[in-house]
Amino acid sequence: MLHLYDTATREVRELGLRSPGEVSIYLCGPTVYGPPHLGHGRATLVYDILRRYLEWCGLRVRLVSNITDIDDKIIDRAEREGREWTEITERCEQVWFTAMEGIDVLRPTDVPHATEFVDRMVEMIGELVAGGSAYATDDGVYLSVAAVPDYGLLAHQSLDEMLAGGGDREVLGAAAKRHPADFALWKFSKPGEPAWPSPWGEGRPGWHSECVVMSLDLLGDGFDLHCGGQDLRFPHHENERAQAVALGREFARHWMHNGFVVDAEGEKMSKSLGNVSNLLDLIEAFDARAYRMVLLQSHYRSPVSISADGLEGAGRALAGLDAFGRRAEGLDTVDPDDGVIERFRSAMDDDLDTPTAMALVFDTVRRANVALDAGDAASAGPLASAVAAMLSAVGLRLAVAAAVPDEVLAAAAQLDAARAARDFATADAIRAELQEAGWTVETTRDGTTVRR
C-alpha cells in the first residue's frame, strides 16, 4: 500500500482511503494572471505521476484542481494594462491548459472556478461569523486564529516565525484586526473592482476561502489527500484548514507537498526574483518529456534545479528508451517480469521513490538489451513488458516512430547491402544522404533502421 510523507504529522505513513478502492485528491490550481512557470510545471507533474500510479494500481481517482479566477494579482494586471479582468483570466487559463497538454498532464476530474462558488463562500463566511470565529472590520471580514486551537499545525513553527515567513501572499493587514495573523475571508471592493453582494458589503472572497469551499463541496468532508507546492503550506493551506476546523468539519486526512524548483545557486524560482523560466518556452526548446524525466529522477520532496544541461541529459536518456522501445516492437506480447514489477511497486509505495523506480527501469532496459544481443527473445520479452508497464505507471510515453517512405526504406536496405559487401564508402554516402534529408540512421547487427 502507498505510504506518503504527511506534512501534518511529519512522518511517512499509509495513505488511508475514506472509501475502499477510491482516492479523493485536491490540488491547488493556478491563479490565472500570467503564463505558467517551472514551479507550476513541477507541481502538476508530481501529482500527475501520483495520479497515474494510483490508477495503474487499480484505484479510481477523483482529482479536483481549481482555477483561481478572482484575485488581487488579476485585478492589478487588469488595471495596469487597461483590460477587463475576465479577458486576462480567460486567456491565461487557455495558456495554462496548452502548457499542461504540452507536458502531458492529464486534465483533472473536476476544474472548479472560484467565481462559480462565490455564493457558497458567502454562506461559509456567514457561518464563521455566526459562530464567533470571524468578524467584520472596515475593510473586510477576518478569521480569528484564536478560535482555532491548533493553528499552525502544517507550518510547525511559532506564530512569530509564521508571520515573518508567510510566503508570497501578504499575511499582515488592517490595523483593525484582532491579531496580526488573522486573515481575510472577504475583502470589500474598491470602486471599479469586481464585486459580489454579501451581508457585510460588496466585495470578493479571500484566496484561502476559495479553496476550502471548493474542496469540501466537491470532495466532501474527510477527503483523502490535499496537495500542492511547499510554498503553499503556510499561509494558504494552514488557513484553509483553519476555516474547516472553525466550522467543525473534517478536512483533508493527509497533506502532501512537493519541493521547490531552484536555480543553480539553490534559490527558489519565483517571479519576484526574476529567475522564472516560462513553461511554454521549455516545451518549445526541449523534448517536453524531459521535464517529467528530470522530476522522476529526483525525489518529489527535494529541491530540484532545472537547467539546459539537465534537460538535454534527460533527452538523451529518453532517446535511449525510445530506441529500446523500437527494438522491442517485434517481441511477442507477454506478461511482465513479476520480480521487476514487485520491486517497482515497492519503490513507488515508499513515499513515491521515483529515483529508485527509474533506476530499475534503466537496469531492466539494460538486461533486456543484453538478452536481445544474445538472441534470447524468451528472456527479453518479460523484461520489455515490465519496462512498458513501469513507464505507463509514471506517465512517460515513448516516441512513436513516424511512417518511413518506401524509398527511404530502400535506401536503408542498400546501406545494409553495401556494408555486407564491405563497401563502406558507399554505405557512408547513403547514410550521409539520409541524415541530410532529416533522418536518424541507426545500424546494429540486426540491420539499419531510420526515423525522423
Evaluate if residue 427 carries a pLDDT over 90.
Answer: no
Q: Please, which pLDDT band fits residue 3 given cuts at 50, 70 and 90?
A: very high
385 inside domain:
yes
281 inside domain:
no
Phi, psi of 62 (to 5 degrees): -110, 110
Same-domain check for residues 386 and 420:
no
Alpha-carbon gap, residue 269 to 277, rounded angstroms: 8
Evaluate if residue 71 carries a pLDDT over 90.
Answer: yes
Name which residue leads in pLDDT, 156 or 319.
Answer: 319
Name which residue leads in pLDDT, 358 or 306.
Answer: 358
217 inside domain:
yes
pLDDT of residue 405: 84
Name which residue leads in pLDDT, 79 or 443.
Answer: 79
Q: Is 127 exposed, middle or buried (0-12, 13-18, 19+ CB in 10 A)?
A: middle
CB 163 within 8 Å of CB 172 = yes
Final residue in a domain of this structure, among 215, 247, 262: 262
Phi, psi of 84 (to 5 degrees): -70, 140
Same-domain check for residues 252 and 161:
yes
- Average pLDDT for residues 13-21, to the nearest whole number? 97
Same-domain check for residues 197 and 311:
no
Does residue 28 sit in helix, strand or coil? Answer: coil
Share of the chain above pLDDT 70, in %: 92
293 inside domain:
yes
Mean pLDDT of the chain: 91
Same-domain check for residues 46 and 176:
yes
Evaluate if residue 72 carries a pLDDT over 60.
Answer: yes
Same-domain check for residues 358 and 419:
no
Final residue in a domain of this structure, among 230, 262, 294: 262
Same-domain check for residues 202 and 66:
yes
pLDDT of residue 156: 85
Here the CATH number for the domain that contains residue 386 is: 1.20.120.640
Alpha-carbon gap, residue 382 to 334, rounded angstroms: 6
401 inside domain:
no
Q: Is 189 exposed, middle or buried (0-12, 13-18, 19+ CB in 10 A)?
A: middle
267 inside domain:
no
Q: Please, which pLDDT band fits residue 278 given cuts at 50, 70 and 90?
A: confident
Q: Please, which pLDDT band fits residue 273 given cuts at 50, 70 and 90?
A: very low
Share of the chain above pLDDT 90, in %: 75
Name which residue leads in pLDDT, 232 or 424.
Answer: 232
pLDDT of residue 171: 41
pLDDT of residue 270: 52
Evaluate if residue 262 carries a pLDDT over 80.
Answer: yes
pTM reported for the whole predicted model: 0.85
Same-domain check for residues 373 and 424:
no
107 inside domain:
yes
Same-domain check for residues 237 and 342:
no
Who's near 377: CB < 8 A, 6+ residues apart? 331, 332, 371
Here the CATH number for the domain that contains residue 20 is: 3.40.50.620
Evaluate if residue 404 carries a pLDDT over 80.
Answer: no
Alpha-carbon gap, residue 80 to 34, rounded angstroms: 13
**pLDDT of 187-231, one tens digit each?**
999 999 999 999 999 999 999 999 999 999 999 999 999 999 999
Final residue in a domain of this structure, among 347, 365, 393: 393
Q: Which domain holds residue 419?
A: 406-451
Sign, CA torsion 104/34/185/162: positive
Q: How far is CA 32 from the centre of its chain?
A: 16
399 inside domain:
no
3 state SS for 234-303: HHHHHHHHHHHHHHCCCCCCCEEEECCEECCCCCECCCCCCCCCEHHHHHHHCCCHHHHHHHHCCCCCCC
**pLDDT of 292-344, one tens digit each?**
999 999 999 999 999 889 999 999 999 999 999 999 988 998 999 999 999 99
pLDDT of residue 16: 97
CB 24 within 8 Å of CB 84 = no
Q: Please, which pLDDT band fits residue 438 given cuts at 50, 70 and 90?
A: confident
pLDDT of residue 244: 97
Cis peptide leading into 112, omega within 30 of 0? Answer: no
Same-domain check for residues 52 and 153:
yes
Same-domain check for residues 358 and 232:
no
- Average pLDDT for residues 250-270, to the nearest whole number? 81
Same-domain check for residues 130 and 184:
yes
What domain count does the chain have? 3
Same-domain check for residues 48 and 137:
yes
Alpha-carbon gap, residue 270 to 212, rounded angstroms: 25
- Average pLDDT for residues 164-171, to the nearest whole number? 44
- Average pLDDT for residues 33-44, to the nearest whole number? 94
